[in-house]
Structures are given as structure tokens and as C-alpha cells.
Amino acid sequence: MTSTPKSLIFLGLIFCLNCAIAVYDYDYGGGLEDLGDRISKSVQQRLKHLDNLGDRISTNVQMQLRPLDNLGASISTNLQTQLRPLDNLGASISQQVHEGLRPVREMESRFKIKFGNGGTSVVTYSPSGKKFVVRNSALYVCDGTISETTGSCSGNLKRATFKTKKDFCYANVNSVINNWYCVGGGSVSAGIVNGNVFCNSNDGSPTLLISSDEYKNLCADVATSATYKYFTQQKLGEHGSDVQCSEGLPQVCTMSENLTGNFAGVSYVTIN
């Protein structure tokens, strides 16, 4: 077997190494010392289309969502339109309650006039023409003359007393139970005990218990209607068209009621 000289083997190795370096240089265009830089540059070139990707994505999303611009404002406007009936809901409810209670306030004004609360009332009964002064539900008789401008008495005022049945036609405090009238010149209370109607005064003054039909017949020629003239240093407040009041203070208000009709100011109770 013929052996190859060592010098030839060494020369072959050098040749192969040079070939490898040549091939590497051909493939990568340079030596090993700047491989990192060249790889970095190559990567940067390949990824160049990803530059500013975040900004481009943001811009693209904004373009895609452009038809939804002012969506919040649009939704808000729509909701405001839908919920407009609820605007100032508290004030609206308060106003409705205030309007609903108007009849109650008007009744309170009539009661002030009828019973002389917060002022003085002068009541004139028809057809008898008899006059009384009313203060805080109490009926008074004037032994002089009653002023038409102030309601004051030129003489002495004394509590009205009822001695006959007809006197009770002038009573301004009444209660009705099962078509029975409990009538008095002051505060009265009535009720039924064991099927019997009772009628009492709260201040010890006389009372009259009488059927409604008998009362109307009794008072037909004494008091079928009453006209009130109310004098007060305070504003009466809200009242219906059946009450007429002057401007300013003191205030003078007038009102009339039918005593044989609805019996205004009476407490009606029906107990079976």
C-alpha cells in the first residue's frame, strides 16, 4: 500500500479550510467578527414592515371605528329623550300631590270662615236675618251693633245659649249619624251604643238630637241658609270660587252655605 506524504495531507487541510472560509464569505459576505451586526441588520430589514406597528394598528382601529364616532354622545342624547318624562320627577310628584290636595285646602279655608278660626266671622241667617259673632267655633251674641267693616261688637259679647229647639237652628257645630242630627253651640260628639244614637257636647253646653227631616222642618222659617263675613289679619290661603276675599291685610272673605241641602261643615257618619 502506498502511503500519502504528510506534507500533502497538511496542504489538503489548509485548502479545505480556505474553501470553507471562502464558502462562508460567499454566503454571508464577510468574516466572523461582525456576524452579530450583520444578523441584526438582516433581521431589521426583514422586520422593517413591522415598524410602528402599534401606531398603525391604533390608526387602523380608529378608521374602522370612525362610524361610531360620538356614539357615547348619541346614546346619551337618546337616553335623555327616553327619560325626559322623568326630568324633575320629585318636583312633578310634589306638584301632583299639591294639586290633588287642593280640595282639602279649600275645605280648610271654608272651615276657618265658618268657625271663625284665626279671625272673627259674622254670620247672618236667612230668612230670620239674625246675626251672630263666631270665634274659635263659639257662637256669641252682641248686645250692641256689629261693624260691617271690622266685625267688632259695639257692646258686650256674650256666649249664645239655646233654650228652645228653634234656637238650635243657629248651631254651627253638627254631626250626623244614620240621618240623626247631633246639634250644639260648641264642640259635639256623637255615636251609637247598643243601637242607640247618643249626642253630647265636649264643653257642657246643651245639645239637640233630632232626625234630619224634623230638623229641616223645624228650621224652615228660621235658618235655611247662612252668609259668613270673615275678618282676619292673616291671608286666608287657597280657596274655591265660592269664597270671595279682598286684597291686602286685614283680609275680608265672604261665603254662603245652604243649611237644608248638603249641610256644609257637618260630619256625616253612617253606621249599620
Most confident among 13-27, 51-65, 91-105 (mean pLDDT): 91-105
What does pLDDT average to over the chain? 75
More confident residue, 21 or 156: 156
- The better pLDDT of the pair 137, 125 is held by 125
User: Which pLDDT score is estimated for 137?
Assistant: 83
Does the pLDDT value for residue 127 go beyond 90?
A: yes
pLDDT of residue 179: 83
Q: How confident is the model at residue 229 (pLDDT cuts 50, 70, 90)?
A: very high
Measured CA to CA, the distance from residue 171 to residue 160 in angstroms comes to: 9
pLDDT in tens, 6-48: 443 333 434 443 443 333 343 434 444 455 555 656 656 665 6
Count CB-CB contacts under 10 A for residue 146: 20
Segment among 67-76, 88-97, 124-133, 191-200 with least mean pLDDT: 67-76
Question: What pLDDT, on the 0 to 100 scale, is given for residue 60?
Answer: 60
Quote the pLDDT of residue 2.
Answer: 46
Q: Identify which has the larger pLDDT, 75 or 10.
A: 75
pLDDT at 138: 86
Paired residues of 211 in beta bridges: 180
Angle, CA of 60, 62 and 67, to the nearest 5°: 120
Whole-number percent of the chain with pLDDT over 90: 32
Round to whole Å and give the CA distance between 75 and 68: 11
